[in-house]
Structures are given as structure tokens and as C-alpha cells.
Chain A
Amino acid sequence: MKIGLLLALLLITPLTFAQNLYVKLGEKQGIKTIVEEMLYRVGGDARIAHHFDGVDIMRVHKLISEQVCDLSGGPCDYSGEDMKTAHRNMGIDNADFNALVEHLIAAMEKQDIPVSAQNQLLALLAPMHSDIVED
């Protein structure tokens, strides 16, 4: 009996680990909710809200959601500009970038995304730092 349970566990475990990031983030709907929560927090953050003045926030929401879906292995194709072009002349510094990361983390925490999935997504987004931040 015990051995049977152990074998069943051994069989299930690799499947759980193989579950891709897209699924762990809650697929399209989960990702949309995370990005919405993140942008909501950004809007209330005096440090960075001004970067979104006059920006079509619905479009930003659609593009970021699409990008996260794409990056995490979901069935989406990011249709926006590359990161360098999209952020040109916006004057985004390290502090701004980190503030956005904090809001993304807070949004994922609110959706109870496991730390392992949070880290996977952050590691996929971090390389964009050099294209977004102006020295």
C-alpha cells in the first residue's frame, strides 16, 4: 500500500514540475489579471505614474499581457514594438524599472502565484533592463 502510494507520487511529481510557466500564471485570464493589478498599482505610484501620462493604458495592458503569455510559453504572439523602440526617450531609470518590478511581484503575490513561477517570469523579464533603462 505504502509502496503503491510512493510510486504514484513518483509518477505524478515529474508531471507537476513539467507544468509550464504559462499554466502556473493562470493562462490568458490569470496573466490579464496580474497585468491589470500591476498597472493599477503603477497608476497609484507617484514615482512612475507620470511615465504613463497620455498613454493608452488599455493598449499597454493588451500588449504586456500578450508579451507575458508569449514569453511564458503560452499560445500568443507579441505584436508590439521591441523593448528598445517602445521605451526610447522615456527617460526610465533604474529606480523606475525596479518600481515596476515591485508592482509586478505584488500583483503576482495577490494572485497567489507560487514563488517558483514568480522567479521564472522575473528571470525572463530581467534581460529587458538594458533595453528599457537609459544610462
Chain B
Amino acid sequence: MRKPLLFGNSTLLVCALFFTPLTFADQGARLLATGGASMLEGSGGGGIVPWATLSSYSGEDQLGVTVSLSEVTVDDFRLSVQGASFSWNNRIELSYAEQTFDLSTIGGELSQDIVGAKVRLAGDLIYGDLPQISIGAQHKKNKDYALPSAVGSQDDSSVDWYVSAAKAWLDGPFHRTWVANLTLRSSKANQLGLLGFGGDKEDSRDWLAEASVATFINRYWAVGIEYRQKPDNLSFAKEQDWKDLFVAYFPSKHVSVVGAYTDLGSIAGLDDQTGWYLSVQAAF
């Protein structure tokens, strides 16, 4: 006589029904590193710039999932980010990030939630003449609005819109593979939104340019730079553009690690905020 199954047949059936329609990006339908990393606002991208690429390695009719932890430590502040994203069909990406901004020197902490969506409109990162073009949105909501309000912020939530184009050259300069991404963002966010949206000095949307360029030394290691324009809406302190110099490591399609030297300029009146960025992502 057969032994009864531990969970019974109905449970197995439910499991089968649940898993059948979705194919996870197990071995991955896309090439190593084309899923990129998780950027500070949770979207698939570099470190500080969302890219036209979609997170994970999911391809046609596949679902991909990523989780990430990032930390930026500069002279007087520390930013911690926990993020997760879902990608389907190499077409749609949904993301969530929770940012906590520790005002190490001033004292206190700020935080916000970011829900993001991105859609690939056309093109492919690697194949064909057209770059990969995506549009995206990031809905941001402050969770500690007392300080932003006190320094002149006009709103505790807002949506950033962006359009991104990314292209890889397999055999670029020095016979290395190069990747470039350009993002144009419409935003009112002060310091990513951690200091609220819009300000006493200016309360309108700005078009901001963000760019990344990276070269792959081999299949697993890339080095690159990023630049991100910032608005300047608050009169109490000037906000400056961000830049970083990064090294990315893709040991497999399941793990990526990005380390960077970052220059965040002046934040809340404290100048020359430079320091280190570290981000780890797991993808399934």
C-alpha cells in the first residue's frame, strides 16, 4: 500500500495550479548584467539613475523578482534603502522602496515610501539599432513631514515622471562592452523627496537630466560614472547635482553588488557631502 502524501493531493493540485501559469526567470532569458542593479529609488538602474532596462532577467512570459539593500554614508548623513521589484515579460517593472535618511550631525531622521512603475516602449539594450526606451513613474510619499514643512516644502507627496534610453555596444572602445543610459525626469522632489516636494523658492516641475556610462572589464565586472541633475526649490539651503563613480560585480544572475564613491554636494546647508555607496541585490 502506498503511503499517504504529506500534504495530500488537493494541496499539490493547488500548488500546481498556482505555479503553472507563471514561469520564473530561473536560468534567466536575458544575458548577464542586463538586469542592472537597484537604484536608490527602487527602480532598476544604476546607483542614482533609473535605467531603461527592466530589473531581473525575466523574458517573454516570465516573472522576475528582485530584493535589494542599499546604504549611502556621507559626511553628515546616512541613507538606507530597502527595495523590491517585480518584472514581467521584459516589459513592465513594478517597484517599491523605503528610504530612511539619518541626519547624523543635525539629529533626527526622515523617511519616505516610493512606489514605481516602468514600461519598456521600444527597442532592446543589445540587439537592433534602436536603443531600449522606457517610461516610468515614481510616486513618493513622506512619512516624516514636520521638518520638510518647516524648511519650506509645499507638499508631502508627488510623482516623478521619466523617460530613459539605454544602449550597449558589445565591442566598444578598447574592445570592451559599454553601456550608456540617459534619463530625463520631471520632478519637484527636494533631495529625492526626503525634504518634501516643491518649495518656497520655486514650486514648479523641473526637467532634469541624468546619465550613466559604464564599461565591462570582463563578463562580471563593470566600472562607470553617473550624474544626476537636481532641482533647487528651497531657500534655506541650496541643492546640488549628484555624481558617483561605481564598480559593479555580477557573479551570477542571482546576485549583484555595486560599490561607489559618491559626491552629493550640499545637503540641508552642510557642504561637500562625499562618501560611499554600497548596494546588494538578489534576483529570482
Residues of A within 8 A of B (CB): 47, 93-95, 98-99, 101-102, 105, 109, 115-117, 119-120, 122-123, 126, 129-130, 133
Contact = CB atoms under 8 A, between A and B. Distances in A.
B177 interface: yes
Nearest to A123: B171
Contact of A119 (B29, B60, B128, B176): B176
Contacts of A102: 31-32
B219 A116 contact: no
B132 to A, nearest CB: 12
Contacts of B126: 126
Contacts of B32: 102
Contacts of B90: 94
Contact of A115 (B30, B62, B128, B176): B176
A95 B176 contact: no
SS class, residues of chain B in contact with chain A: loop
Interface string B106-133: 0000000000000000000011100000
Interface residues of B, number: 23
Contacts of A122: 170-171
A116 B127 CA distance: 19
Given A105-B219, A120-B175, A122-B170, A129 B59 contact: no
Contacts of A129: 127-128
B9 interface: no
A129 B30 CA distance: 13
B59 A95 contact: yes
B10 interface: no
In this complex, the member of A109, A126, A130 whose beta carbon has the largest number of chain B beta carbons within 10 angstroms is A126
Closest 4 CB pairs of A and B: A95-B29, A116-B175, A123-B171, A129-B127
A47 B59 CA distance: 13
A102 B126 CA distance: 14
Contacts of A116: 174-176
B218 interface: yes
B63 to A, nearest CB: 14
B31 A93 contact: no
B27 interface: yes
12 contacts: A95-B30, A98-B29, A109-B219, A115-B175, A119-B172, A119-B176, A120-B171, A122-B170, A122-B171, A126-B126, A126-B127, A126-B170
